[in-house]
A and B are shown apart, each in its own frame.
Chain A
Amino acid sequence: MPPSSATITPLPGGPFSPDLYARAWSSIPHPTRPLIATAHEKSVTVYSLSTLTKHLSLTGGHSRSVRSVAWQPCTTTSSSSSPSQKLRLVTGSFDSTAGLWSFDEKEKSTFSLEKNMNNKQLGEEEEGEEDEEEWEFNLVLEGHENEIKSIAFSPSGQFLATCSRDKTVWIWEEVDEDEWETVAVLSEHEGDVKCVAWAPSEYSGKGGRFYGTDCLASASYDDTVRIWREDGDGEWVCVFVIEGFGGTVWSLEWEKEKRVMMNDEKEGKGKTRMSRLVTACQDGGVKVWELVEEEEEVEEDGGKGDWSVPNRMRRELREEWRCVGEMPKVHTREVYSVAWSGETGVLASTGGDGRVVLYGEEEKEEEEEKKKKEWKVLTVLEGAHGPYEVNHVTWCKRWDKGTERKGEEEMLVTTGDDGVVMPWEVRFS
Chain B
Amino acid sequence: MPEILENENPTILNVSQLPSRSRKGPSARAGPDSAFDSLLYPSQPWLSSSSQSSSSEDEEDSSPIDEQDIFDLIAPISDPEHPHTLGQLSVVRLPDIHIQHPSDGGSRLTTVTVDLTPTINHCSLATVIGLAVRYRLEQTLPPDWRVDIRMKDGTHAQDDQVNKQLGDKERVCAALENETLKGMLEKMLEGC
Contacts and interface: CB of A to CB of B under 8 A. Distances in A.
A194 B108 contact: no
Contacts of B45: 386
B4 interface: no
Nearest to B108: A383
Interface in B5-57: 39-40, 42, 44-47
A387 B177 contact: no
A354 interface: yes
Given A21-B42, A352-B146, A420-B44, A389 B107 contact: no
B157 interface: no
Contact of A248 (B107, B142, B164): B164
B171 interface: yes
A352 B169 contact: yes
Contacts, number: 75
Contact of A386 (B143, B170, B173, B174): B143
Contacts of A111: none
Contact of B174 (A10, A147, A383, A388): A147
A276 interface: no
A228 B42 CA distance: 43
Nearest to A223: B164
A131 B39 CA distance: 35
Given A386-B44, A389-B169, A333 B39 contact: no
A194 B107 CA distance: 27
A15 B164 CA distance: 34
Contact of A94 (B109, B143, B168, B177): B177
Contact of A23 (B44, B146, B164, B173): B173
Contact of B168 (A15, A221, A386): A221
Contacts of B44: 19, 386, 418, 420
Contacts of B47: 10, 15, 386, 420
A64 B177 contact: yes
Contacts of A21: 39-40, 42
A354 to B, nearest CB: 7
Contacts of A334: 167, 169
B154 interface: no
Contacts of B83: none
Nearest to A248: B168
A22 interface: yes
A192 B172 CA distance: 13
Given A19-B42, A248-B164, A333 B170 contact: no
A332 interface: yes
A65 B174 contact: yes
Interface string B94-134: 00000000000011110000000000000000000000000
A21 to B, nearest CB: 7
A418 B42 contact: yes
Nearest to B145: A387
Contacts of B106: 332
B46 A383 contact: yes
A383 B144 CA distance: 9
Nearest to B41: A21
B109 A353 contact: yes
A51 B57 CA distance: 37
A415 to B, nearest CB: 14
Contacts of B144: 386-387
Contacts of A388: 143
B51 to A, nearest CB: 12
A182 B171 CA distance: 26
* Nearest 6 A/B pairs, CB to CB: A387-B144, A386-B46, A387-B143, A147-B174, A94-B174, A64-B177
Given A21-B42, A147-B174, 14 more contacts: A19-B44, A65-B177, A165-B171, A192-B170, A194-B170, A332-B109, A352-B169, A353-B109, A354-B108, A354-B109, A383-B46, A387-B142, A419-B42, A420-B42
14 contacts: A19-B42, A22-B39, A64-B177, A65-B174, A65-B177, A192-B168, A247-B164, A248-B168, A332-B109, A333-B109, A382-B108, A386-B44, A386-B45, A420-B42
